[in-house]
Amino acid sequence: MGTPKPEELIQKIDLTPQWPGWMDTPTEIKPGNFCWGAKAKDLDGIGFPNPREWNPGEEDWKLPENWKEIVIEGLRERLEKYRTLKVFMDICVRCGACADKCHFFLGSGDPKNMPVLRAELLRSIYRREFTTAGKILGKFAGARELTMDVFKEMWYYFFQCTECRRCSVFCPFGIDTAEITIIGRELLNLLGCNIAWITGPVNNCYHKGNHLGLEPHAIMSSLEYMIDDIEEYTGVKVEPTFNRKGAEILFITPSGDLFADPGTFTCMGYLLMFHELGLDYTWSTYASEGGNFGFFTTNEMAKRLNYKMYAEAKRLGVKWIIGGECGHMWRVLNQYMDTWNGPADFLEVPVSPITGTRFDNAKQLKMIHAVEFTADLIKNNKLKLDPSRNDHLTVTYHDSCNTARGMGFMDEPRYVINSVCNNFFDMPENTIREQTFCCGSGSGLNASENMDLRMKGGLPRANAVKYVNEKHGVNLLANICAIDRAALTSSMDYWVPGVAVAGVHELVANAMVFKGQGKRTVDLRGEDIPGMEEEEEAEEAAESIAVQEPQEEAAGAAGEEGSE
């Protein structure tokens, strides 16, 4: 059935918010729902305005005296620069079709999390300052004065939007509230009012090349740890190279894959697969971040942080680039990289050295997603797979907002998962693909201090997982996004305990059969694979054991059987 048509939506929904009463409900900044303010040292480190120590929970945000002028001037500038913003400010008819589509509204029950009201935060200022009706009629025309309370309200709610764009799918005019949030955050940024969880990684990335601030030796030693683990679990010794000039392909993944479980297991998956293929590729310890938290500050900062990808590809003289499993990374690459830092005319159109497939979809970008690369390998029968190695798993797939809505990337991951797992069940239609629900922690909101907010935002997704968990016994939530891997792990822990979270390449490598592999009775987490623990003994005893235990509780059982 796909996405409902605008006409259908307008007919069905009667959700016009109280108008203009919402302006009279004061906003209280509640602990558990906001992130710590950007730190002085980080703002300073990236040359952002107003570096100071401040606490959003306190009265005084330490803003310059002319703060209001700065915001209004900033808005004027952006209205001139981005035509979409001007259009989005003018054309909303307040039909309410978007109102109940936001995971934060659904999870919090707070009407100010209705996308239409989120946009009104900015629109009300726009009307007051830039339209005649707003200047004269004020509140009756939906306009209001920018006061300190209004500014704080903007801050509170623009950092309760994950820029997921679900609302835009339902708007008959295609108004993209995510873009309004992006501009709203830029304006807040003019006064140093970003959050620590975003500006910290941005500062790190600007100086060290990745969000975690890892220096080259730390990156290499992290991968060395994985190499040891891989050898222990599979008997295969992988030998990745770093900063190797003349390699055919440069591989760039989000740095979360290097350090945070379960992303590390996905990373081990790439290492194994590339090794098995004998791929001529290299890692870079400089372009060591696929993600781009700069995207959650300003357009210019996002561009700056992105610059290193092409620059490093040029320095190393590679032909093209593969990018790891990530969400916002791909929205940034797919929609902005070429305009910002292209054209990458020193690179070639990606051609898989294994299958010969030419990725014309990446003709301009010269970079493809690891899952595209793998789907093509499988389609051409280039991976030796034994999906029964994943038989203890019943899998569902979470479409990351950015890969699904941001780049229409929905079938390849499902194709790969179905090729490496025997038990796959999609979640209900209105919660996947274009209509996918956000993990609840995207766009830099995956801090810990706002855990209540993250759980609210994560509810609609988790609710759908719970359904397939109860109906089909799903015990694994696969995804292709580094933030999902971290965020959904907590979300599942709270909402649907017993469902694990894994990247797609972890599943791929677990199902692969490698040349010269040892006896593989454990997976990439070093855990026993039910049914494979004691293959030899099982063979010996095959005759005496007539009935095999059903594998329903395989997931839980794995932990109890020890990990030797």
Our finding on whether 124 is near ligand SF4 (CB under 6 A) is: no
Our finding on whether 455 is near ligand SF4 (CB under 6 A) is: no
From 18-26, 113-121, 213-221, 271-279, span contacting ligand SF4 (CB under 6 A): 113-121
Give the nearest distance from C-beta 506 to ligand SF4 in angstroms.
Answer: 28
**CA–CA separation, 309 and 306 (whole Å):** 6
Among 33, 50, 177, 334, binds ligand SF4 (CB under 6 A): 177
Whichever of 118 and 185 has its CB closer to ligand SF4, that residue is: 118
Our finding on whether 58 is near other proteins (CB under 8 A) is: no
Our finding on whether 526 is near other proteins (CB under 8 A) is: yes
Listing DSSP states for 138-177 in one string gives: GGGGT-----HHHHHHHHHHHTT-----HHHHH-TT---H
Among 43, 164, 370, 371, binds ligand SF4 (CB under 6 A): 164
Among 39, 128, 166, 369, binds ligand SF4 (CB under 6 A): 166
Among 32, 235, 246, 278, binds other proteins (CB under 8 A): 32
Among 7, 14, 65, 564, binds other proteins (CB under 8 A): 14
Give the nearest distance from C-beta 484 to ligand SF4 in angstroms.
Answer: 15
Give the nearest distance from C-beta 485 to other proteins in angstroms.
Answer: 8
**Chosen from other proteins, ligand SF4, none, partner binding at 554 (C-beta under 5 to 8 Å by type):** other proteins
DSSP alpha helices (H): ranges in 473-533? 482-495, 504-511
Q: Which residues, numbered 233-262, are part of the site for other proteins (CB under 8 A)?
A: 259-262
Whichever of 170 and 251 has its CB closer to other proteins, that residue is: 170
From 23-31, 175-183, 485-493, 508-516, span contacting ligand SF4 (CB under 6 A): 175-183
Size of the site for ligand SF4 (CB under 6 A): 26
Our finding on whether 11 is near other proteins (CB under 8 A) is: no
For residue 253, the number of C-alpha atoms closer than 13 Å in the C-beta half-sphere is 29
Q: Please, are residues 503 and 223 in contact by the beta-carbon 8 Å criterion? A: no
> Dihedral angle at the C-alpha atoms of 174, 179, 183, 186, nearest 10 degrees?
180
Listing DSSP states for 65-130 in one string gives: TTHHHHHHHHHHHHHHH-HHHHHHHHH-----TTTT--HHHHHH--GGGSHHHHHHHHHHHHHHHH
Among 50, 108, 124, 162, binds ligand SF4 (CB under 6 A): 162
Our finding on whether 483 is near ligand SF4 (CB under 6 A) is: no
Among 38, 89, 97, 188, binds ligand SF4 (CB under 6 A): 97
**CA–CA separation, 295 and 193 (whole Å):** 15
Among 43, 502, 504, 509, binds other proteins (CB under 8 A): 502
Name the DSSP class of 337.
Answer: I
**CA–CA separation, 311 and 291 (whole Å):** 16
**CA–CA separation, 32 and 256 (whole Å):** 24
State the Rg of the chain over Cα: 25
Continuous segment of H or E residues that includes residue 404: helix 401-407
Our finding on whether 117 is near ligand SF4 (CB under 6 A) is: no
Give the nearest distance from C-beta 91 to ligand SF4 in angstroms.
Answer: 7
**Chosen from ligand SF4, other proteins, none, partner binding at 286 (C-beta under 5 to 8 Å by type):** none
The sign of the CA dihedral 513, 514, 517, 521 is negative
The sign of the CA dihedral 141, 156, 94, 335 is positive
Give the nearest distance from C-beta 88 to ligand SF4 in angstroms.
Answer: 8
Among 71, 125, 150, 167, binds ligand SF4 (CB under 6 A): 167
Among 246, 278, 343, 498, binds other proteins (CB under 8 A): 498
The sign of the CA dihedral 360, 405, 194, 218 is negative
Give the nearest distance from C-beta 442 to ligand SF4 in angstroms.
Answer: 8
Our finding on whether 33 is near other proteins (CB under 8 A) is: yes
Among 3, 36, 86, 110, binds other proteins (CB under 8 A): 110
Residues in Cβ contact with 204 at an 8 Å cutoff, skipping those fewer than 6 apart: 210, 211, 212, 213
Exposure letters 193-231 (e unless 16+ CB within 10 A, then b): bbbbbbbbbbbbbbebbbbbbbeeebbbebbeebbebbe
Tokens at 271, concatenated: 């290492």
For residue 349, the number of C-alpha atoms closer than 13 Å in the C-beta half-sphere is 9
CA-based nearest residue to 446, from 482, 498, 399: 482
**CA–CA separation, 401 and 405 (whole Å):** 5
The footprint of ligand SF4 (CB under 6 A) covers: 92-98, 101-102, 104, 115-116, 118, 161-167, 171, 173, 175, 177-178, 181
The footprint of other proteins (CB under 8 A) covers: 14-15, 17-18, 25, 30, 32-33, 99-100, 105-111, 114, 218, 221-222, 225, 259-262, 264-265, 392-393, 428, 430-431, 448-449, 451-452, 455-456, 459-460, 463-464, 467, 475-476, 486, 489-490, 492-495, 497-498, 500-502, 523, 525-528, 554-556, 558-559, 563
